[in-house]
Amino acid sequence: MDFKVMLTTFGMIFLAELGDKTQLATLSFAAESKSGLPVFLGSAAALILTSLLAVVFGSFINRFVPAAYIRIGAGALFVILGGWMLIFSGK
């Protein structure tokens, strides 16, 4: 197992997830719930499943598209969606 890749992935995802919509939604659910355990288990399961889907899809698409193009495409999509949210938010 490549621990450098694992730790780099952990660090980047951890920092990216701090204060995002998923964390704020989980915080809201926990505040409304009498027990935090079901909220934790549900949110952890959802994050695991979305990560699994990303890894499976990324591994599949990497067979046909070079990694550099995938990074460029992901970055471009991120910028486009960010712009979309800035332009069309509040309408």
Which pLDDT band holds residue 77 (cuts at 50, 70, 90)? Answer: very high
The whole-model pTM stands at 0.70
- Contact assessment for residue 68 and residue 76, using Cβ atoms and an 8 Å cutoff: no
Residue with tokens 């952990």: 10
Portion of the chain with pLDDT greater than 90, in percent:
63
Region 13-24: mean pLDDT is 84
- Kindly report the average pLDDT of the chain as a whole number: 90
DSSP 54-84: HHHHHHHHTTTS-HHHHHHHHHHHHHHHHHH
Rounded mean pLDDT of 2-15? 91
